[in-house]
Structure 1
Amino acid sequence: MPRVNLPSDNVEYPGLGVLIAGHFLEKDTYQTRRVNGMSDWLITFTLSGEGYFIVDDEKITSSQGDVILLMPKVPHQYGTREGSEWNFMWVHFSPELFETNYLSGENLVKLTMENKHIQNRLSQAFDKLILDYRERNNYWFELCQNSLKEILLLIAQKQKYSIEPRVEEVLHLLSKQMSESFKIEELARKVGLSPSRLSHLFKENVGSSILETLKQMRLNQAALLLEHTDRNASEVAVEVGFQNYNHFAIQFRKRFGISPRNYKKSAQ
């Protein structure tokens, strides 16, 4: 949780810390050097081109999809790699603004977000952060905090709970189009794997098969709809992707220990 609560109409820099963000496109003459480090955290997300960071005499390249997380008080240098342009989003924020114990304790962390869905989520979160920071409308700082929190959690998720990027993409496809029919061959083609290889990787990373995972997604969504909407059990079955009601009812009872209709009655 954020550690400060500033007035929503405050359009100056926060008195207890800094939260600033931007989007740069820089040629290879761009360079920043801080021999004593800085008091803030720095996060960069490379959209295209290449940048570099030098920390502890080690030079690290940042390319498309790379996130760099730099801790406060670490001497560093960064800039655009020679012969390239660097298109990147960035944010500085003071340590007191957010709890960061769940992040890696290394001076510099580089994460490559191979999954296009996660790249898009990061880009959208940065876009919202930058726009709210620039516009300074009511609640701008709280909105910036929300966007930054999403960025930090996506980074933490990648650090601690990362799964194979192609499996991650399949999970995204299943959740986004849960009610549609899927063939493993089609999913495999979309992520560039053979059906057998995808099935093996998926179970290895997720712990259950693709079809079992999809079934559980559908049943969980069905329970939510039964509990919080006026749809009846037959309508819910079709909406979440079950074309045969009897099959849906059997699977629902196995999952929740009660029939869909009685589940709805109990919720009401």
Structure 2
Amino acid sequence: MPVHADELPEAAAPSPPPGLVTVGRFDERPGYSVDRPGGADSWLFTWTTDGAGLLVQGATRTRSAAGDLVVLGPGVPHRYAVAPDARRWTFWWVHCQARPAWTDRLRPHLRGDRLYAVTPVPAGVPAGVRDRLEQAFRRMLADARWTGEGAPPAIEPGESGGSDGPGGGPVAVAHGTAARELTLCSLESIVLLTTATATATATAGAGEGSDRPGVDLRIRRAEARIAADPGAPHTVDTLAAGVSLSPSRFAHLFTQQLGQSPMRALLAARLLHAARLLEATDLPVERVAVAAGFSSPFHFSRVFRQRYGAPPGAYRAGLRR
């Protein structure tokens, strides 16, 4: 039976301040719900480990089962609760400001109203990936408690939720700068792992051209290889050899099916990689250029300005302001 937003139990709740990183793990039973009619000023990341939850944002809703990452962007009214057909909902959650580069990873999973649902097939997610995700959340919980003195707290493997009432389970707030950055680094790994696993699972199970009809699987593999390591010394010859095609046949198929040449796609990937490095690191512009695969910093500055409307240094300064 369809469930509508106005059928969820009412339980208005404030959201954490947007400048903080707040992380927790809840184990909730039917009757638990959170309602924010004004939305939140921060992003909310949820990762379900057991049972199921129902998340509604604006007019968009999704059911979150074990292994699913659901992300709610700020500024849209939302509600979430234990799913009507579930006996429990065990999930990790994080309130924070998302790093700009994360939206690129999440965009293919947008359902509407700034709700992103990364839902890999559970059977297709290797146990090692699930374990690493669990450890990343536990690492976040420990790092959020670090004061900056001595070593960060050790991960406590026995920590879990378990309360029958709303809000039960461990919660930590990262107050210090180092604690916030460490928790965000773990969350970035979670975004990367879940989105990459979902893409790989969909590609493996779909065959040639399911989500993009007419795109040869070999071309998609080459495209993924460029995106995974744009700074590598890729050439048409090396990319073609990696998918067992002749260079001329590979270049023809790539351009025909993706609408741009392999080297044009490589340039776009390198510029995006450089932008992410400028956003997330304090590396000098010259080192960013090298890490992104550019041999000439002058060429890098020129093509970066053409793509983003500002030279690399000004682009970074604008973000910091």
TM-score, structure 1 as length reference: 0.51
Question: What are the within-5 Å matches in structure 2 for residues 93-112 of structure 1?
Answer: 93-95=96-98, 99-102=101-104, 103-104=106-107, 106=112, 107-112=114-119
Distance 1:15 1:52 in 2: 24
**Compared CA separation, residues 57 and 18, structure 1 to 2 (3 A):** same
Aligned structure 1 segments of 4 or more residues deviating by more than 4 angstroms: 165-168, 202-207
Distance 1:130 1:123 in 2: 11
Distance 1:100 1:64 in 2: 22
Distance 2:17 2:64 in 1: 32
Could you tell me which runs of 5 or more consecutive residues in structure 1 were left unpaired when the two chains were aligned: 1-13, 169-201, 208-268
Distance 2:202 2:32 in 1: 32
Distance 1:155 1:146 in 2: 14
Match of 1:88 in 2: 91
Query: Is 1:128 aligned with 2:165?
Result: no
Match for residue 145 of structure 1 among 184, 187, 211: 184
Residue type of the alignment partner of 1:125: A
In the TM superposition, what is the alpha-carbon distance from 1:137 to its structure 2 partner?
A: 4.6
Question: What are the within-5 Å matches in structure 2 for residues 7-46 of structure 1?
Answer: 17-46=19-48
Q: Is the 8 A contact 1:69 1:110 kept in 2?
A: yes
Distance 2:138 2:75 in 1: 27
Pairwise CA RMSD: 3.2
Number of residue pairs the alignment of both structures matches = 159
In the TM superposition, what is the alpha-carbon distance from 1:54 to its structure 2 partner?
A: 1.4
**Deviations for 1:14-58, whole angstroms, at most 9, x for unmatched residues?**
998121100110111210011111111111000001111112334
- Please identify the structure whose Cα radius of gyration is greater: 1
Q: Is the 8 A contact 2:60 2:115 kept in 1?
A: no
Question: What are the within-5 Å matches in structure 2 for residues 1-268 of structure 1?
Answer: 17-82=19-84, 83-95=86-98, 99-102=101-104, 103-104=106-107, 106=112, 107-113=114-120, 114=122, 115-116=125-126, 117-138=128-149, 139-158=178-197, 162-164=199-201, 206=221
In the TM superposition, what is the alpha-carbon distance from 1:94 to its structure 2 partner?
A: 1.9
SS of the residue aligned with 2:200?
coil
Distance 2:18 2:79 in 1: 26
Q: Is the 8 A contact 2:47 2:93 kept in 1?
A: yes
SS of the residue aligned with 1:28?
coil
Distance 2:118 2:138 in 1: 19
